[in-house]
Every structure is written in structure tokens, then in C-alpha cells.
């Protein structure tokens, strides 16, 4: 992971384009479910690896134990 690539490594928690406050949530992409941020501009960050189910990702988010 590069510095500033995730919120945990220094990326802003506010979108620089629209100013929206970014909240961690479970998101989905072609790779599976992940913990990340999304605003009206689109996906902003992927804070975790991929999970097979949304429940696995939600459990990781709820526990606070996730990372890339």
C-alpha cells in the first residue's frame, strides 16, 4: 500500500472534488465485497482486501479488523 492510498495511510476523509465527508462502508466490485468509501463522484478508496460475502465484509467493518 502506498502512503495516502487509503484513509488509514493518510488519504483525506473528505472528497477533494465535492467536499463530501467519506464514511467507511461495505461496497461491491467485480473482485468481491470490500470496505471502502464512496461519494457522489464515485469510489474513493478501498480500505480492505476483498471478501466473498457482504456479511464477511460487514463483520470485518464492525470488528474494526480489516486491512489490505
Structural domain count, the chain: 1
- The pLDDT, as a whole number, for residue 34 is 97
pLDDT at 64: 92
- 4-30 pLDDT, tens per residue? 788 878 888 999 999 999 999 999 999
Supply the pLDDT for residue 68: 75
pLDDT for residue 5: 81
Q: What is the model's pTM?
A: 0.84
Beta strands 32-39 and 42-46, pairing class: antiparallel
- Residue ranges making up the domain that contains 18: 7-63
CA distance 17 to 28: 22
Q: Using CB atoms within 10 Å of the CB of residue 10, give its burial: 0 to 12 exposed, 13 to 18 middle, 19+ buried.
A: exposed
- Residue 38 buriedness (CB in 10 A; 0-12 / 13-18 / 19+): middle
Tens digits of per-residue pLDDT, 26-51? 999 999 999 999 999 998 889 999 99
d(CA 40, CA 17): 10
**1 occurs within a structural domain:** no
Amino acid at each position: 500500500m502506498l502512503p495516502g492510498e487509503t484513509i488509514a495511510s493518510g488519504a483525506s476523509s473528505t472528497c477533494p472534488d465535492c467536499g463530501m465527508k467519506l464514511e467507511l462502508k461495505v461496497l461491491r466490485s467485480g473482485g468481491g465485497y470490500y470496505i471502502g468509501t464512496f461519494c457522489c463522484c464515485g469510489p474513493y478508496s478501498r480500505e480492505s482486501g476483498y471478501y466473498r460475502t457482504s456479511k464477511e465484509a460487514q463483520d470485518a467493518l464492525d470488528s474494526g479488523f480489516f486491512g489490505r
